[in-house]
Structures are given as structure tokens and as C-alpha cells.
Structure 1
Amino acid sequence: MKQMMRSTAMLLAAATILSGVQGRSIAASPETLAQVTGTFESYASYDLPTSAVKVVATLEKFIPRLKALTVRTVDQSDDGKSVYLTMEDPKNPESYASLEFDLGTGLLMGYQVPIQEAASGKRETYEFIQQRVDQLVMEIYGSEKRKMIGEPHYYSDEQDEQDEQDDPIDSEFTFHVSTEVFYPYLVNGLDLEGTDYGLLIQTEADGDIISISLNIPNLQGTNVPDPKGVLKQDVIKKQYFTPSSFDLGYFREGYAGTPELLYVLRSLPVFDATTGKAIDSMNGAVIEDNRRNSVNNKKITLTPQARPLIVNNELDASKILFTMFGVDTKEDYARYYKHEYRDELEYHWSNEFPNFGSSGVSVNPTTGQLISAGVVTQSPEIPVNLTRDEALKKAISFLEPYALTTSATMRVEIDERVRPIQLTNWMKEVEKKEKGDDKDLEQIYNFTFYELHNNVPVFNHYYNVNVNGASGKVEHFRTSLPMKEIALPDVKLAATEQQASEFFIKNVPLRLSYRWPTYYGVKGPELKLVYTLDDSKGWPYVDALSGTLKWDE
């Protein structure tokens, strides 16, 4: 159940250097490269640093197909800090590699090849990819530079690539799986988390390297607190793992693969390691730690109508979108595509800027049962600004036509995407200068409705409804229902929430790291030392029927 998924975009390390570059062609091998570089004295500022030449040689050894890219062009950035190398195949213009080096140090900052260059169809194991990437890092950056980055994190990444030559109204997409390995940048030996600072390497499923990106932060003028001044873990644990931190609930297929009744953490707060206060994970502002506020968790009664949600084709998907959200796919959108990924078949419509908007439906490809549906629209000129209670009524009225008869009594969990925060002085200054993106400021109410069994929520049985408080409209719907009925265990608890809390305090470690607060895209004047859950050993939970702490690896 533990998934290391990370939403990413393709790195464009030096893609722009392929057009309009006033550079010069150089030879393929590093030896010839050095000779040719020396013959162009009038272009001395465009020479590759010696260490960069060595990196090219290492890459050629590690990725032999680069040797076929014999047409090579060097260019320098406008600010004079970077040098770019473009490597092209004279027989195939679509076969190329783009590299970026730091002009002063020769450090490799970026590398990219087209995805189709690396797609062999073969899938390697994480162990193979880990070994290959670790070897590449050591060979390119060496043991000293390796010390500036931490232990790698591995993520599975699935992407769609659209064929731009296709008719935009009915476009085809190719689909592939890749792996990303991220080494976070270290400050005082601790990860700088919550940022893209560090080394990111993307590989194809077969382990072939398709992109490298090194992002080093400029901490000049930024206050960096000393880790020696942090509170002890045990102090924070007593705040982190309180009885109210846990939810008791059924899982149809628990961590052991069978129906289970578990105590699980209901949220993953971030605590300031020097003050012991809960803070916002992005901007670092102090927030209220209301993980089990009765206002945010309610038992409600619905009037289910159980209308079927079956989508067999594009027409059915269009009808669903019109019924749920009032959109006309033929009138409102110019682009359409259909594709299957992660066991879901998606129908999707969209427009591009300035009339940006999209809508889509995903279904079970075998049964046609709807899984999710949603729309993305532009911000309203005159917002209606629904309250929490008004938004909940809107969500309930939206849900009742589709809710199953088993969903008459439910527990709803309410999450407000925009919460009041205590602005610090630097954030106040940012607010004066930055208007920000109005869409980011809209209040989005996220309602998750759980079915109950023996008055206990079944976390696999849910409906999720998002209401935009500004527009007053539902924007997204997702459900796991209907599901085949199975026998769930009786509630015979061998542990209480208090005992679950004690298990965690005694056995589950916290992780100390740095965060760089950001507000409206502006970095704060200081880093923060924070404590978060350390899941390196696995994902902790308490089996409520056996009364034992377990780890999902």
C-alpha cells in the first residue's frame, strides 16, 4: 500500500539550445573534442571546461549510443554561467542529446535525450536501476560531490506523450513507464526537503538514462539554523502521536492482503523542530493542529438514489459530464483524447490558453463503471464564496443521486484547502508585492464520505466530492464503489487509541530535516528545521484486533 509516487514533468535541461544557436560543430570523441576546441581561438569563451570533457567521455562509456551523435555544438548562456553541448546524429535529426555544464566548474547540471530514444520495451527491477544510477552518480560527480546529496528516493512515474502531428481534436497518446531517482541536497548533513534542490535522474523502465538535473540552492543571505538547537524527538513525538492522531477503520484489503481493522495515522503534520509547533508544510506558518476536530468529521444521513454510473463509450462520458457539471463537450472544447493507464480508461476534453478548461471521465476498462469525473474551469469574475456548511449541502445534493443504498449512513471528513494562517513579517511583505494566482486563493472544500460497518468507517468504501467555494460548483467526483461484498471482522478491539499512541511514541522514529518556506513563489529568509514521520523502515500501523504495531514495507 505504501507508494512512492511523485508527480513530475519532463526535465528540459537544455532543450532550447537546439534552435537559433550560433555555435560550432565539434568532433565526437573527447580526444578530438579537446583538439578541435583548441583550434577555435576566436571562440575560446565557448570551450567546454576540461572537467566537462571528462564527463562527456564518462557518459559515452556509460551510454554507448551517444557515440553515434557525432555532430556536436557548443554554446554559452546569456549570463555567462553555463555552457551547453548539443550532440546530434547526422543521419537522424530526431536523435540528439542536450547537456548543460557549469562554466566555472565543469559540473554537469543537465542532460536529456528524447524519450523515444530509450524505449526498448524491457522493464528492469528497482535493484538494477538503483545500482546503475548509483554507479553513474559516482563516475560523473565523484565521491566528494556525492557528499553534497543524500540518500536516493525512488519513484515510479507514468507519462503520456501526445503526437503533435495528429489532429488536435482527436489526438493519440503514447504511454510509458519510467523511474525517477532523487538525491536531496544536504544542508549540515540533513536533507533539504519539500524542494527540487538536489540531483534528479530519470530512467526508462529498462534502466536507460533519459535525463539528469542538478539543482543547487543559493543560500547566501539565508539564515540556516543549527541542528544542535532542536527539541528532542521524544518531546515532539508526544505531540505528533496523540490519541487524536489515529483513525480506527476497516480496510477491505489491508496491509496483509485480507480484511483488517486498523489504527492508522489520519494525517502527516510537520512540526517546527525548534518551537514544537505544527506548521504549514509549504510556507512554514504556524497552523492549528486540529486533526480530529468534530467540525471536520461528521456522521450524516443520505437519501441514496443509486443511479447507475456506467460509461461504455465517448457519448456516455459526454452525457455524464453534462449531467454532473453542465458542460457540453462538443461546444465547450476543441481537443479530445482517450487512453488507458493504471487500470483506468480515460475520456478527456480540453481547450488551451486563453480559453483554458478541461473535463474528463475515468472508468473501469472492463466493466465501464465510473471511477472519477471532473472539470477544470477559469476563476469566476464574481465569486459566490460558499461557507463550509453551504459547500457540504452542495456536496450532499450532488452525491445523493449516485450513492448506493448501502450508503444511507456515512461519515464525512471535511478538508479545507485554504486555511487561515499566521502571517510572518516576510510573508506580509510578499503579500504587498505579489498578487499571486487567483485560482490558488480559491477555497476548495474536499469532502470524503465513508460507508460505515458496525459504526466504523470502511476506508476502501468512499465517495470524494470537491466543491469550489468561489464558483459554488462541484468540480470533481471520485468513488471506489460499488465493490463486491465481503465479510468484515467484528469490532473486538485488543488496543485503544491511547495504546496505539503509546506504541508509536515508543517505536516509531521521526525524521529531522530542513524545509525552505515559500509564499507566493518567494523563498523565505531562513530555513526551518522540521520533524516529520520517518517511513524509511516502512509504513507503521496498529492492528486493532491483535493489538500489535506492524510495518508495511
Structure 2
Amino acid sequence: MKKHRMVTGAVLALTFSIWAASPAPAGANEAVVSVPAQASSSAEASSVQIFPATEVKLTESQQKNLDKIYDILPELGKLNVQYITDPEAEGRWSVFLGKGSLTSSGDRPESSARLEFDAGSGELIDFDFHNPQWASEKTPSPEYAKQKAAEFVRQLLGDKADQYKVGENLGYSGSSHSDDKGNQINWTAASVQFNPLIHGVPLLNWGFRVNVDVAGHITGFSQQDSMQDLPETLFPDPKNAISLKEAERKYAREVQMKLSYRQQQPLSYRMMGQLAETRPALVYTPNFQGSIDALAGEPVEDLGYVLGQPERRVLTGEGKELVARTPEEGVKLLAEKFGVDMNNMELLRRPEDRIDSQEKRNIKDYTWRTPYDLQEDRENPRYVTLHTEADTGKVLNFSVQDEAFRGKEGKITLETARQKAIQFVQPYLEAGSVEMELVSWPLGQFIPSWVDQSKIDRDELPVPISHFVFQPLHQGIPVVDRGYSVSVNEVTGKVVSYVQGGLDPAVELPDAQGVVPAEVAKAEYLKTHPLRLVYLWPEWFGQRPPAPYLVYTPEEALGWTYIDALTGKTVVIEEGN
């Protein structure tokens, strides 16, 4: 049976920051934050046969693989082997470690670990370790995290560690455990990237990550792609690259800075979704964040990056509000106002209030899905989510995820979808004539030219959906975190998600009269994002272009940053503990 990951909330992980209240899928209790943010994808694990340790003992080679890790991380040697997976399933095997027996339980979690190895080479593929004694919401400094990660990699790989370069930027990950009394402990860690060196040039988005907590413990390891047998002959020779200075001139020619407001610009961030300090801000952002082909000297096309195209539109709002105080009212509203087929949809659970820490208000979450007892519904489930203010019932957003449209070809044009989005959103805009900046993402229509579509399974193709964000203006400048979002199914022409936007009148935005010239902000951006020579070999659902790209790409600033339009200086968003 096919497996589908349930997605709740509106599809908003796009180029611009958009205000939305979207909880994690049911059962999810782990968060990963990349700094700076990067696109990523995930797939559910395949089913494997599990053998309890009492029935199947480790082979000599398996024990040897495990003993090597015990030597590097002695804490793991204090745990018991609880069960392993069948190495014949996928050419790899996993071992699960823990304290006590497999059936032991308690309010406070015991130490546990999972390690995955290549069944042939014995290479470590994946590892994670949760120790309650190490729980902390603090993270290590970048320098300390890189030092401890490098020490681990040297022990793991020996001299082969010289074939990798430590990435400049860190990611951050977090997980938590809650007991039935509401007590919670949190783990956080910095994630250090190691990229393989080909011809002395790092290959990005390849290699592995090492997780390090605030005390310097190694808590995780994850390999993005196999390090074996990289075809170096396919990699362009860096000797043929244009000079760095020439690349800088060409890159600077592409970059233009754009003004935007943010009502809630974070000044600090915290792991595990905790409230971060914010303030209203006027910022400059670049319109181009791509790469320069180091051989051709031109911007690289077809890498899978999609930028929304903004345009100004004058719309006529009607000032209407949508309200649903109960599940029954929600079903009626979804069917009558939004045209969602709610026949035979089952409410998964009664909604419970949750606190939206950013908006400082209580939210109710509703989720319906098609019944399990019908084969077609198991194969192509449909989910509908609705989020409202708990006290007023005011609708904040809704979304429909329908797997029956995965891989289908769109039947309407982008312009038709755009007009449907405009017609949908106008009743809920403030009453009267209002100018907005409309940003369009035809994400469902994009497939890189190097992809052979005949080799793509239907389940790997996206649902064809176009996304539109209507950003309100202040002093003629878009407020990017207060946009109304509308998504349209390109097959049916129906709206499948909506997020209520609008300016918060209690927030006083900075006066735009004192902004520095765009050229000043551009010089600041180029200074803090110097170019570097790297290889890129993008992947689209298992397919790659015939050869890697050799490109000059900007070095990301360490951590999250933005350029203050009133000073022209870079502001670093600090981690809060």
C-alpha cells in the first residue's frame, strides 16, 4: 500500500515569509531548523522486518561495525542491543539500543540510540542518540560545535577525513519528550555539515552531518548520499573556471535590492518553537540569490529554484469575516463558502486549544480525512484542515490535501489560476479599493529540463498547485509577513488553501523616509555574502543532471541575518536560550 505523509496547514514554505498558524502533523514531535533556511525533502521509511535481539544475534561483521562506534562513543556501549533489522531488506541494517528491556517503560525516557550501517561495506549511514541526562535547550557555539564534530569525523574516517571540508553554516535540530502529566524535556543540537572535496572544490548538498549538543556530545550522524565511488571524471575541471573577480562582477550585475516591511522581524530565535523576540522592521532583500556558472559566466538556470514574480494589483475588498466555532460549523463553512467536498469526511479528533506563541493567542485545529474502509480512500487519502481563533471562531486558514491529483497534468493556465485566486480573496480583504503586491509561484508546473518524466513514478510527482500571496502595502512597500495566501489546484481550478492576512493596527511600522539608498544595501549584501567556487549536483526525485555544475555561489552569512534599511547594516538574529 502506498504511503503518504499528511501535511497540515497551508503550503507556505516559499521565498517570502508569510504569516500562518500551521501545526505539525499528528504525532510529530521533532523540529529541524536550518540556518540559513534551505529547501529539503523527506520520505517515510520503508517497512523492514524486525528481529528481537533475543532471537537473532549480531554477526561477527555487525559486531565489529558496532564495536568501532563503541570505541568512539563509549556511552553507547553502556546500552543493550534491543533489536536489529534484516540486512537483506535494503542492503543495510539497523540496530536499536536502550536501557532495560524492550518493554520497559516510565514517565521519564531511558537512553536510546539507533544506528544504521551499509550491509556490504559496514559504513555508518545514520545514527541518533537520546540521553535524558543531556537534555538542554541551549546549543553550542559554532566554533565549539565544529571542533567536536571534526574530532568525531577524524576518529570515524581516519585519514579519509581530509577528503571533506567543514561547511561554514550550522543547522539546528530539536526533539522533545512529554509524559502523560505534561512534563516535557527538550534536546537541541547544532548540525555541522561535511562536504566531499572533488578536485579540491567542495560538493554542496552531499556528504554528511554531525549533531553536537551544548556539552560537546555527539548526538547524531546522517549521510545525505553515499561517499563511495563518486565519478570524479564527470566533474568540470576548476582550472577552466572564470576568475573570482569576473564572477563577482557578473553576480553584482544580477543583484538588485528590494524594500519590504516585516511586522514581526525576529531579533532572536529559540529551538522547539518557543517565542522569539520580535520587532517591526524595514529591510532590504536581494532579488537574486542564485549562482553564476563558473564556465559560461552566466546565471545558472534550471537548478530547481523558483522565485515568485511580484506585481501590483488594485483590488476591491468587501471586509467579510469567516467564523466557525464548532466542527459542525466548520464543515458547513468549508462546503458552502470554499466549495470543499466534505461528504463522508471523518473528524480525526476533537479540536484542542493550542497557544500560537508568535501571535499570543489560542488556536483550534480541526482535521478531517476520507474513511479508511474504502480501498480508494486508503490509496488516495484526502485531508482537510481548518484553524480558527479559539475564543471567536475566526477562520485563520484552511487547506485540502488530495492525493488523487498527484502526478496529474494541470488543465488551466497560470493566469486563469491567478484570476480565481483574486476572485476568492477579495471578499475577505478590508472594505474598499486596496493596492497589494501579488506574488505568484507556479510550483506545480516546474520540472527541471534534465528530468526524464517517463521514469518518474506517479507518487513522486507533485500535486499541480499554483500559489499566490497578496501582500498589503504600507507607504507603498509590501509587508511580507502579513500576506493573504491562496493556492489553486491546476487540474480542477478549485482553491485548495487559504491563509487570512492583514496588517495588525497595533504595530507601528518604521517610516520609510529615512531609508539608505539601495546601492548602499547592495554593497553591504555583497560584502557579507562573498562568492565561493563549489560543485552543485541537484536531485529531483532520484534523478540528476548528466554532470555536476561548477558554480560561484554566495557564502551565506553565519546564522540568520537581514539588512536594516534605515542603517544599511547587517543585523544578526541571535539564538536565544
Ranked by relative contact order (alpha carbons within 8 Å, sequence separation 6 or more), the top structure is: 2
- The structure number with the bigger radius of gyration is 1
What do residues 355-392 of structure 1 show as CA deviations (whole Å, max 9, x unaligned)?
Answer: 31112123456775544321111218986622222112
Q: Residue 466 in 1 paired to residue 487 in 2?
A: yes
Name the CA distance, whole Å, in 2 between partners of 1:92 and 1:21. Answer: 10
Q: Residue 141 in 1 paired to residue 161 in 2?
A: no
Name the CA distance, whole Å, in 1 between partners of 2:385 and 2:505. Answer: 26
Taking structure 1 as reference, are residues 143 and 266 closer, same or farther at Cα in structure 2, changes over 3 Å only?
same
Amino acid in the other structure paired with 1:186: P
Where in structure 2 are there 5+ consecutive unaligned residues?
1-16, 18-33, 105-109, 268-277, 358-362, 371-376
Look up the match of 2:384.
359
Q: What is the TM-score when the length of structure 2 is the normalising length?
A: 0.71
Q: Residue 346 in 1 paired to residue 365 in 2?
A: yes
Taking structure 1 as reference, are residues 20 and 448 closer, same or farther at Cα in structure 2, changes over 3 Å only?
same
Look up the match of 2:237.
226
**SS of residue matched to 2:319:** coil
**SS of residue matched to 2:481:** strand
Q: Which deviates further from its counterpart, 318-327 or 448-457?
A: 318-327
Name the CA distance, whole Å, in 2 between partners of 1:332 and 1:123. Answer: 41
* Alignment of structure 1 residues 73-472 onto 2, 5 Å: 76-77=87-88, 82=92, 85-87=95-97, 91-93=101-103, 97-102=113-118, 106-112=122-128, 118=131, 122-127=135-140, 130=145, 134=149, 137-138=152-153, 140-141=155-156, 144-151=159-166, 153-157=169-173, 179=189, 181-188=191-198, 189-194=200-205, 197-201=206-210, 211-214=220-223, 215-217=225-227, 218-220=229-231, 223-242=234-253, 245-254=256-265, 258-280=279-301, 282=303, 296-310=309-323, 312-327=325-340, 329=342, 331-333=344-346, 335-336=348-349, 338=351, 340=354, 343=357, 345-351=364-370, 353-363=378-388, 369-377=394-402, 378-379=404-405, 385-405=411-431, 408-417=434-443, 423=449, 427=451, 430-431=452-453, 433-437=454-458, 440=461, 443-472=464-493
* Percent of aligned pairs sharing the same letter: 20
Aligned-pair Cα RMSD in Å = 4.5
Cα offset, 1:395, TM superposition: 0.6
Q: What is the TM-score when the length of structure 1 is the normalising length?
A: 0.73
Cα offset, 1:495, TM superposition: 3.6
Taking structure 1 as reference, are residues 527 and 97 closer, same or farther at Cα in structure 2, changes over 3 Å only?
same
Cα offset, 1:258, TM superposition: 4.5
Look up the match of 1:67.
78
Look up the match of 1:56.
70
Name the CA distance, whole Å, in 2 between partners of 1:414 and 1:83. Answer: 44
* Alignment of structure 1 residues 503-518 onto 2, 5 Å: 503-505=524-526, 508-518=529-539
- State whether residues 58 and 139 of structure 1, in contact with CA within 8 Å, keep that contact through their aligned partners in structure 2: no
Name the CA distance, whole Å, in 2 between partners of 1:55 and 1:484. Answer: 57
What do residues 21-46 of structure 1 show as CA deviations (whole Å, max 9, x unaligned)?
Answer: 997436xxxxxxxxxxxxxxxx7xx5
Taking structure 1 as reference, are residues 130 and 249 closer, same or farther at Cα in structure 2, changes over 3 Å only?
same
**SS of residue matched to 2:441:** strand
- State whether residues 187 and 514 of structure 1, in contact with CA within 8 Å, keep that contact through their aligned partners in structure 2: no
Name the CA distance, whole Å, in 2 between partners of 1:132 and 1:313. Answer: 53
Look up the match of 1:47.
61
Cα offset, 1:245, TM superposition: 3.0
Look up the match of 2:25.
none
Cα offset, 1:472, TM superposition: 0.8
What do residues 368-425 of structure 1 show as CA deviations (whole Å, max 9, x unaligned)?
Answer: 554432111121898662222211210111101211238722121222225678845x
**SS of residue matched to 1:126:** coil
Q: Which deviates further from its counterpart, 471-480 or 143-152?
A: 143-152
Where in structure 1 are there 5+ consecutive unaligned residues?
27-42, 164-171
Name the CA distance, whole Å, in 1 between partners of 2:170 and 2:527. Answer: 28
Taking structure 1 as reference, are residues 494 and 535 closer, same or farther at Cα in structure 2, changes over 3 Å only?
same
What do residues 43-100 of structure 1 show as CA deviations (whole Å, max 9, x unaligned)?
Answer: 7xx53364642323433x234xx52415676965468x65654546663346865433
- State whether residues 25 and 71 of structure 1, in contact with CA within 8 Å, keep that contact through their aligned partners in structure 2: no
